[in-house]
Structure 1
Amino acid sequence: MIEMNFAKIKQSTASAICNLVELDEQAMQLLQDDAAPAQYLQQLIEKEFYPDAVRFLAVALPKREAIWWACLCVRHTLGESPSLADVKAVEMAEAWVYRPTEENRQPTLLAAEATQFKTPAGWAAVAVFWSGGSISPAKGVIVPPADELTGKAVIGAVMLAAARSGVDKIKANYQLFLKQGIHIANGGDGRAVQ
């Protein structure tokens, strides 16, 4: 069992997190009203409900940490000859994680568009764009993103990354990615996890 203290997760119950995301029926049947987030996530992992575990953790983590997690997953599956668009998208997402400013957030939409929204790196960049500020293309028009959009983009990035290496590696990718996400939730950076 992985140690889970979840220093970065502010919700005290798993049900509060589950209200923010749609999980499969089997995953919801495991939910107990007073279950702690760590306890519920451990159950999802033990049952190998990996997509639900990813959805749960992606919305439980604060935006910056969730995006960093997405970037780690993307980096793991970039391969030996990644496209320039993917490299740029993940680099821009990482730049925002290191310095979450509006100047670093704004250009991530163009980086995501260059991937045609078909790659994990593109979705990591979208997660940054949807993390705050205005998503309106019109100057002077402020349209804040819905709060849940970042989590949804992180889910897309992590799940696409898990599947990117081929069917035979999906389970191992999910297991690694969830260990990294838990390390981040515990206050780490997810890098040392293997």
Structure 2
Amino acid sequence: MTEINFVKIKQPTAVAVCSLVELDEEARQLLQDDTAPAQYLQQLIEKELYPDAVRFLAVALPKREAIWWACSCARLTLGESPSPVDVKAIEAAEAWVYKPTEENRQLTRPTAEATQFKTPAGWAAIAAFWSGGNISPAEGAVVPPAEELTGKAVIGAVMLAAVRSGADRIKANYRLFLKKGLHIANGGDGRAVQ
């Protein structure tokens, strides 16, 4: 793998990122105090620790970029006859990415709920909803989302997308999705990655 240089990830070390996410033991053993996020992610991918690489990247990316990554992966699972519910969820999440207003954020919750959180699209939409603001459904109550919620929803979207097309495609899906995520981390939009 070529050297990775992230422009979107601002944490100076992988340790700083890992404090935000749970990783498997093998992934934690690779962690060194001074390892840059790009080097650590490269090690995870080379060792085919794909779920850990997804977890790491989902919390390392800024929220907008992470949600865009989730949308990109979810879109690839729609198939030829996509569910209108999933299409609406992805479109709502993408609308928030394009224009992260409170109004657009609020529109993501009902579309996520309509998926019953059974699809990558639903998790991408709830990631956008959990990106900030008030997440309480109760009138007058103000409940800000926990900082880690967006990352957890992005993890759910990407991992669910990876397993959706069958066991024989999981590794290939993880590799493709991580390439997209790397492209986004490097300042791209992930669309050109095939």
- Relative to the length of structure 2, the TM-score reads 0.98
Q: What is the alpha-carbon distance in structure 2 between the residues aligned to residue 86 and residue 28 of structure 1?
A: 35
The corresponding residue for 1:120 is 120
Q: Tell me, yes or no, if structure 1 residue 136 matches structure 2 residue 128.
A: no
- Matches of residues 3-152 of structure 1 in structure 2 within 5 Å? 3-152=3-152
Where in structure 1 do 4 or more consecutive aligned residues deviate above 2 Å? none
The corresponding residue for 1:173 is 173
Q: What is the alpha-carbon distance in structure 1 between the residues aligned to residue 59 and residue 141 of structure 2?
A: 27
Q: What is the alpha-carbon distance in structure 1 between the residues aligned to residue 5 and residue 179 of structure 2?
A: 13
Q: What is the alpha-carbon distance in structure 2 between the residues aligned to residue 3 and residue 104 of structure 1?
A: 37
Does the residue aligned with 1:107 lie in a helix, a strand or coil?
helix
Cα deviations by residue, 1:166-192 (Å, 9 ceiling, x for unpaired): 111111110010000001001111111
Q: What is the alpha-carbon distance in structure 2 between the residues aligned to residue 48 and residue 23 of structure 1?
A: 14
Q: What is the alpha-carbon distance in structure 2 between the residues aligned to residue 3 and residue 68 of structure 1?
A: 23
Q: What is the alpha-carbon distance in structure 2 between the residues aligned to residue 3 and residue 125 of structure 1?
A: 32
Q: Give the % identical residues.
A: 81
Structure 2 residues without counterparts, runs of 5 or longer? none
Shift of 1:107: 1.7
CA RMSD of aligned residues (A): 0.8
Shift of 1:140: 2.7
Structure 1 residues without counterparts, runs of 5 or longer? none
- Relative to the length of structure 1, the TM-score reads 0.98
Q: What is the alpha-carbon distance in structure 2 between the residues aligned to residue 46 and residue 193 of structure 1?
A: 18
Does the residue aligned with 1:26 lie in a helix, a strand or coil?
helix
Q: What is the alpha-carbon distance in structure 2 between the residues aligned to residue 124 and residue 154 of structure 1?
A: 6
Shift of 1:153: 0.1
Cα deviations by residue, 1:69-126 (Å, 9 ceiling, x for unpaired): 0000011111111111101000100000000000100021110111001100000001
Shift of 1:142: 1.4
Name the stretch that deviates more: 9-18 or 135-144. 135-144
**Equivalences, count:** 194
Name the stretch that deviates more: 105-114 or 152-161. 105-114
The corresponding residue for 1:185 is 185
Q: What is the alpha-carbon distance in structure 2 between the residues aligned to residue 103 and residue 4 of structure 1?
A: 36
Does the residue aligned with 2:117 lie in a helix, a strand or coil?
coil
Shift of 1:2: 3.9
- Name the aligned partner's letter for residue 20 of structure 2: L
Shift of 1:3: 4.2
